[in-house]
Structure 1
């Protein structure tokens, strides 16, 4: 069970909120989270890097000079990997980098990563009604009042997308907006501070509790 202080729009403490997520054992937690992180980064790779072997490079069909009598090293093609403009030895070819990880293990890693950031978690009240229209400056000021410095990488987690908050947040440097049921390990670990609304915390508890 993790206890968190809840802050209002002005940054004042107005209550307590707790959450309880089943996480990995201490001995295996780092391994599980690391696997999930490596999987996410690998699966994001396009795998389209490609080079040509000597058989795929255009030209080089004729022997450059005769085998003997010239005093030069023997050569059979101008597309040898030893030549400028030649093929590439053991170069990259298109491939899949995808790593497999079962659903239970992925969710366990996500819960473990989230619970591990408890010290950097800032729980706030719903503030959608405070932004009657998109206002980036007001949101920046509120995040500072909540305890995240302007230079910090901040992850803002909401229960659902709200247009005014989205439009206010999209142009703020070092701020990433995320919906509670679309979390990923990389963003949880990458952020310096995680700002989450009380209802988003309940949604995380509901969605990822199994």
Structure 2
């Protein structure tokens, strides 16, 4: 059974918090489906080429159908002409969205957190706030834990803590409503408030 590392106010290891046994039974495919869906939703889908019906010009037939000795041509907007439309170019109306149901989203997050716990990269604190609002105080947390980067999850993000973390490149601060399996996987470690983790384990 995987366990999260419990930290006190000084970020010292004071124990372990076991995750539900059911987390270890979750198949990794749930995480794969969620991450694939998340990344698909990030696609801007702006690539678009014009067909011969959308490009400008070419209303008149370039030359007579017969008697010229050359190939017939009906429009200067044809794809074979320079400046003509594209025959099979990309279209911006393509939908890349991939549906993932609510249960799979929950299972994906539980699997991701269990993986962090198994690698000793899931840290639990009662509360994490930077009252000074200073970046150096926030950076000291990562330095103390000795992790290269971290996702910080609070029940509700306050302004001072946001100011402290916003300029640190290897940290990302979110509140409980923003937490998802993709973010939990993207960072080496997850530092999460106890109340948030308890809510997740109860739902599971």
* TM-score category (smaller protein): 0.7 to 0.9
Q: Distance in 2 between matches of 1:61 and 1:41?
A: 43
- State whether structure 2 residue 167 is matched by structure 1 residue 171: yes
- Structure 1 residue 116: Cα displacement: 1.9
Within 5 Å, which residues of 2 pair with 1:132-143?
132-143=131-142
State TM-score, norm by structure 1: 0.83
Q: For 1:162 and 1:138, how far apart are their aligned partners in 2?
A: 15
Q: 1:38 aligned to 15, 36, 39, which one?
A: 36
Deviation at 1:161, TM superposition (A): 1.3
- The answer to which of 131-140 and 72-81 deviates more is 72-81
Q: Give the Cα separation in 2 of the matches to 1:138 and 1:73.
A: 75
The separation in 2 between residues aligned to 1:137 and 1:72, in whole angstroms, is: 76
Q: Distance in 1 between matches of 2:98 and 2:24?
A: 20
- Alpha-carbon distance in 2 for matches of 1:81, 1:94: 21
Instruction: State the Cα deviation string for residues 96-155 of structure 1 (Å, max 9, x = none).
Output: 222222211221222112212221222334232xx3320111110122102213xx3x21
Quote how far apart the aligned CAs of 1:71 are: 4.7
Q: Matched residue of 1:205: which SS?
A: helix
Q: CA deviation at 1:53?
A: 0.9
CA contact (8 A) 1:10 1:142 kept: no
Q: How does 1:51-130 map to 2 (within 5 A)?
A: 51-91=49-89, 92-118=91-117, 119=119, 120-128=121-129
- Secondary structure (helix, strand or coil) at the match of 1:176 reads strand
Q: After TM superposition, give the deviation of residue 6 of structure 1 in Å.
A: 1.8
- Are the counterparts in 1 of residues 105 and 181 from structure 2 also a CA contact under 8 Å? no
Gap regions ≥5 residues in structure 2? none
| Matches of 1:86 and 1:11, distance apart in 2 | 65
Unaligned runs of 5+ in 1: none
Q: 1:24 to 1:78 in 2, by over 3 A?
A: farther
Alignment CA distance shift 1:21-1:203 (3 Å): farther
What is the aligned partner in structure 2 of residue 190 from structure 1?
186
